[in-house]
Amino acid sequence: MIVTKKRSAPKAALAQFIAIIALTISIFLIVDFGRRAAANYRVQREAERLSQEVELARQRQADLLARRSYVASDLYVEEVARQELKWASPGETVLVIMPTPEAIAPAINQVTAETASQPIVQTPAQAWWHLFVGLSPGQAVSQ
């Protein structure tokens, strides 16, 4: 009977040892699989972001190519010459409409009236005084 006990003890120890090794290997594989899955997820997100960026760059390139072909056309040259350079085609007369002095005078008078009603503030203390009292410190004393 003692002999059977001795033989079963090494078998149980061997089974426990194999189970511990298998458990350790399986835990290692699970952790490694999780790390690889997380890395793969990050790489896929980065790839999607980069593909969107490439698509935006392609759209911008198409817009720039269309703009380049328009800028190289005679239509664009004529538009710039007329609007920015105030040139005219042969046989055309350029008219520049200037505002009359009567149209300018009310605007100038309005700006002058607005600035005259506001006192000139030179220091922060004068600004606070004007904000709370309404008069400049010199006007408050003289009145």
pLDDT tens readout for residues 49-93 = 999 999 999 999 999 999 999 999 999 988 888 888 878 888 888
Cα 8–9–15 angle (5° rounding)?
Answer: 90
DSSP string, 89-115: -TT-----PPPPHHHHHHHHHHHHHHH
Asked if the model's pLDDT at residue 40 lies above 50, the reply is yes
Global pTM reads 0.43
DSSP assignment letter at 133? T
Cα 123–125–127 angle (5° rounding)?
Answer: 75
Q: Which has the closest alpha carbon to 130: 112, 118, 113?
A: 118
